[in-house]
Structure 1
Amino acid sequence: MPDSVMGRALVADPHVVVVTGFEPKSSVVEIKAPPSKSFYYRLAGLLLAGRGCVRNVPDCEDADAATDIVLAAGGVVVSDGRVCLDYFRESETYDVDVYCSGGALRITLVALLAAAPIGSRISVHVCKRLFRRLEEGTLSLWKQFGEARLDPGSNVINIVKTREPQMLRVASTKSSQPISGALIAAAILSALRGGDPVKVEGYTGVSSGHIYETLESLRLAGFTLEDIRIDERGDGIAIHALVSGVERRFVLWTPGDWGLASLVAPLASTGVRLIIRGLWRPWAGPGDHYASFYYKILGFDSKILEHDDSAEWDIEPFSARSADNITITVRREPDVAVSVAYAASALGVSVKIAGVHHLVLKESNRLESVTASLRSLGYVAYHTNDDIIVAGRAVKPSFVNIECPDDHRIAMGTAVLAATSGVVARISNATCTSKSWRGFWSTLQEAGVRIFFEGGKLE
């Protein structure tokens, strides 16, 4: 590592990276998408319905939390990285640590509740941030299985299973994950009852994109969805479904993460052709995933090539016909709003990203952290209660020191935009990317991004 960058002395910090530019080795850059932790929450939960394995397990902290729940139920991690369960371990007590993984708490844990015998006790350890943000929708779902008590002194949730519900109802204004948890739990309850269908009724005031991931996960695992009705209203989504299936052995593959892929996609703004492989096939069949659709609106030549069990995203250098002063409303895929803001900045496109009020509830207040990071890199960016506005570039600093919040998507988006925009950026708290993608920094290096790690290689 050099002693200085742009004439500025570097003080070694093992949590800091310095991004100095982008020099790809060829005009075509290929990247393998990381497995989707969101999909994995669901697949790990479905393992508890019977016997099977999940391949292509994400290497990240949030996925580790879901794996720990499977291990508590008798699962194992085999030498090739698969997570497998040959039989469900019935016990009087289960002790799990989900740390800060909201998906493991709201989805995989509910699967454990459904599979556990009546009378069992589950102790769940969570981080302080997640404990404070527990919403009523999650609590009400747990209480349909028994008693749930919160201990704020130790950040522990104690649940005693006293019953198996005949149907599941859930309403959540802050997250769609409780609905996904209910659907996965319904599949497990049906399998335990020899295939009798279990009804799920739910409502969420936020995105529906993750609900479609859940429906696809159930289909891949061989469960049947009947009488399914999804009503996408202006203020939210209501769902009704009958879920049924029997215990069977399956081997499932975790597809790549579109949201994380969209954060590295702005590399194509430099003129390279970017190919991101191993992605989840769009749930609606042939056509665009939302990320690809939004990137087309911004001016990228973007297309999806579908294979039997995956898809690849081919992003050509942006079109000379790029639009400007456009509005993109993001509701189904809220996390993509972050990458749209960085991509628009990379292209110099003015855009209003609407419908993103829920971003205040993420790892950071992303309305503030996205716009703050853009301004640090010299861009004009601000937000309202429900919009992010990006309006070009005011200045081009040569060097910036960015104090990154503990938010993986902000660190990733900032690093990629700095690399493509000609700014040397010193980014603190860089290890936060391990929440969703431990290999992020090495992937950028392999793609041609110049990165120095202060204090040695990041853990």
Structure 2
Amino acid sequence: MITIEPNRLKGTVTVPPSKSMAHRAVICAGLAKGQSVIRNIQLSDDIIATMEGVRAFGATIEQTGNTLIINGCGLDTTRISQEIDCNESGSTLRFFVPLATLFEGSTHFVGQGKLGQRPLETYRELFEHQGLRYEAGTSKQLDLTIQGQLKSGTFEMRGDISSQFITGMLLTLPLLDGDSKIEITTHLESKGYIDLTLSVLSAFGITVKHDDGYKTFKIKGNQHYQARDYTVEGDYSQAAFWLSAQLLGNEIKVEGLDQDSLQGDREIVRILEQLGANEEERIIDGSQVPDIIPTVALAAALSKGKTKLINLERLRIKESDRLVATQKELAAIGAQIKIVEDQLHIEGVKSLKGGAEVWSHKDHRMAMMLAVASTVCEEPIQLKDPECVKKSYPDFWEVFKEVGGRTDEWSMG
């Protein structure tokens, strides 16, 4: 538990590297033959999980500052069995499940928190269809064992559960014997993350073709990842907290972002412009940007007029039920916010009262949103489980204090 005193922020923040792009670059380098250098890496819990995953496949990784030197396994498939601890990283789990079929023997996946409760049905059905071993434990904790060689072919996949399944297959299929095709059977959500995948694949020498509507992906088989030097760009998902703080009156300058980035969460810039306009009513579609919705909800809570955040179904299957968590914690400090089906309906108020105990729900994005919320509260807030920011932004609290955030150190344990 920490106490956060209301205080306006002032200063310059350099945003951390994109976690999404770092996951993908580490995997591609780990599967390449030869040495890659990945620059601008932050060792969050999620990225550490992915690093341990490629080590399980036989890659070696050395760290020098914020640079990783990765000697890839070159797809030496003779490793007999391995265990991969995904911690709480959904990306690590969903990317590595199909990749593990490239190797002989079984792979056992374990994890922490709610990871074992996040949907994996897409892979279970795929594995059963190809006659591969897929054994999931019965507890809520992740306990999954897979075995068998994935075969090339045509794969029908939903696009409205998580784009991570599609990325997992795009990482894997180019390495199989024979050509493959992915056909998307529903509306594709989080298209921006697929663009990131295609961008990193291309950087490491892999070619994937797709139609304009992202309904069909054609993947040539027998391709090889090529080692290279790669620099990870700044993360718009994390920048969203500081950019929202700007809108709320904090004097924060944000550096380290690529204005031409393919990251879907770059949409935060346009959304905040919309919230800053003096409109009486606005509708914001959250289907493509679920990770920034908590901080968008905070900004909307202090914007003039009414805001409807729609298409938020996928918030329910994140590290927490973010739909419920966002409504509950913002309401606790004075926001006028309610859940209507899979939407958040928000009526702007002039200020937030604070003076309450709030909970991160052990969700890194909730913790950071509530930290920014504290800067516009009238009274201090007490935040339970603040340390969960380690999942994606390990030095968040240090940066928060450097620009004027006031936290009670004693109660951080």
Structure-1-length-normalised TM-score: 0.79
Correspondence for 1:402: 358
Give the Cα separation in 2 of the matches to 1:414 and 1:408: 10
Report if aligned partners of 1:355, 1:387 keep a CA contact under 8 Å in 2.
yes
Report if aligned partners of 2:311, 2:343 keep a CA contact under 8 Å in 1.
yes
Which of the numbers 189, 199, 204 marks the counterpart of 1:216? 199
Correspondence for 2:190: 207
Bigger drift between 145-154 and 104-113 goes to 145-154
Bigger drift between 262-271 and 134-143 goes to 134-143
Bigger drift between 252-261 and 196-205 goes to 196-205
- How far is the alpha carbon of 1:158 from its aligned partner? 1.2
Correspondence for 1:70: 54
Residue pairs, 1:223-234, within 5 angstroms = 223-226=206-209, 228-231=210-213
Give the Cα separation in 2 of the matches to 1:99 and 1:247: 26
Residues 422/142 of structure 1: CA separation in 2 closer, same or farther (3 Å cut) = farther
Report if aligned partners of 2:107, 2:147 keep a CA contact under 8 Å in 1.
yes
Bigger helix share = 2
1:151 aligns with 2:137: yes
Give the Cα separation in 2 of the matches to 1:229 and 1:455: 54
1:35 aligns with 2:17: yes
Residue pairs, 1:162-181, within 5 angstroms = 162-171=149-158, 173-181=160-168
Residues 449/243 of structure 1: CA separation in 2 closer, same or farther (3 Å cut) = farther
Bigger drift between 389-398 and 66-75 goes to 389-398
Correspondence for 2:385: 429
SS of structure 2 residue aligned to 1:279? coil
Residue pairs, 1:126-141, within 5 angstroms = 126-127=111-112, 129-141=114-126
- How far is the alpha carbon of 1:95 from its aligned partner? 1.5
Report if aligned partners of 2:354, 2:374 keep a CA contact under 8 Å in 1.
no
Q: Number of residues paired by the alignment?
A: 403
- How far is the alpha carbon of 1:342 from its aligned partner? 1.0
1:185 aligns with 2:172: yes
- Where does structure 2 lack aligned partners over 5 or more consecutive residues? none
Which amino acid counterpart does residue 38 of structure 1 have in structure 2?
S
Correspondence for 1:293: 270
Q: Can you list the C-alpha shifts for 1:40-92, whole angstroms capped at 9, x where unaligned? A: 22222212431323222232211111111011122223333415124345311
Which amino acid counterpart does residue 143 of structure 2 have in structure 1?
V
Report if aligned partners of 1:171, 1:202 keep a CA contact under 8 Å in 2.
yes
Q: Can you list the C-alpha shifts for 1:85-127, whole angstroms capped at 9, x where unaligned? A: 243453111111112211101014433433x2xx321111123
Q: Can you list the C-alpha shifts for 1:207-266, whole angstroms capped at 9, x where unaligned? A: 32211221122122232232x1153xxxxx734233564342212222222122112222
Give the Cα separation in 2 of the matches to 1:283 and 1:78: 26
Residue pairs, 1:30-429, within 5 angstroms = 30-50=12-32, 51=34, 52-74=36-58, 75-80=60-65, 81-88=67-74, 90-114=78-102, 116=103, 119-127=104-112, 129-142=114-127, 144=130, 146-153=132-139, 155-171=142-158, 173-189=160-176, 198-203=180-185, 206-226=189-209, 228-231=210-213, 238-243=215-220, 245-283=223-261, 289-299=266-276, 321-393=277-349, 396-397=352-353, 399-429=355-385
Report if aligned partners of 2:354, 2:377 keep a CA contact under 8 Å in 1.
no
Q: Can you list the C-alpha shifts for 1:332-382, whole angstroms capped at 9, x where unaligned? A: 212222221111224445311111122111122211111111111111000
Report if aligned partners of 2:173, 2:180 keep a CA contact under 8 Å in 1.
yes
Bigger strand share = 1
- How far is the alpha carbon of 1:423 from its aligned partner? 3.2
Report if aligned partners of 1:69, 1:112 keep a CA contact under 8 Å in 2.
no
Residues 266/394 of structure 1: CA separation in 2 closer, same or farther (3 Å cut) = closer
Give the Cα separation in 2 of the matches to 1:326 and 1:217: 35
Report if aligned partners of 1:93, 1:121 keep a CA contact under 8 Å in 2.
yes
- Where does structure 1 lack aligned partners over 5 or more consecutive residues? 1-15, 232-236, 300-320
Give the Cα separation in 2 of the matches to 1:449 and 1:393: 23
Report if aligned partners of 1:19, 1:424 keep a CA contact under 8 Å in 2.
yes
Structure-2-length-normalised TM-score: 0.88
Correspondence for 1:6: none
Report if aligned partners of 2:287, 2:311 keep a CA contact under 8 Å in 1.
yes
Which amino acid counterpart does residue 245 of structure 2 have in structure 1?
L
Residues 152/282 of structure 1: CA separation in 2 closer, same or farther (3 Å cut) = farther
Give the Cα separation in 2 of the matches to 1:277 and 1:209: 21
- How far is the alpha carbon of 1:31 from its aligned partner? 1.1
